[in-house]
């Protein structure tokens, strides 16, 4: 089964350093490893539009979500 991951979860996983979110980040990593993650264009656009760092944008935008 595939899982659609919303932008708030991606934001937590990519930006947050709080231990409170570590379980969610670990679950997301497991889903990515199992190739079960889905992301639709609007969520990907929302995620990428939140970054002003060009190197990070390039690195993130090549993910085959």
Determine the Cα–Cα distance for residues 14 and 1; give it in Å rounded to an integer: 23
* Sign of the dihedral through C-alpha 26, 9, 34, 48: negative
Domains contained in the chain, number: 1
**Which residues, including other chains, have CB under 8 Å from residue 20's CB and lie 6 or more apart?**
none
Q: What is the pLDDT of residues 5-61, one digit of tens each?
A: 998 888 888 777 777 778 888 888 899 899 999 888 898 888 878 766 667 666 555
- Domain with 44, as residue range(s), is 3-61
**Which residues, including other chains, have CB under 8 Å from residue 2's CB and lie 6 or more apart?**
36, 37, 38
pTM: 0.66
């Amino acid at each position: 089964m595939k899982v659609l991951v919303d932008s708030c979860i991606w934001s937590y996983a990519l930006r947050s350093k709080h231990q409170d979110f570590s379980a969610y980040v670990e679950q997301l990593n497991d889903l990515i490893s199992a190739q079960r993650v889905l992301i639709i264009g609007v969520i990907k656009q929302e995620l990428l539009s939140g970054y002003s760092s060009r190197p990070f944008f390039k690195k993130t935008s090549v993910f085959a979500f």
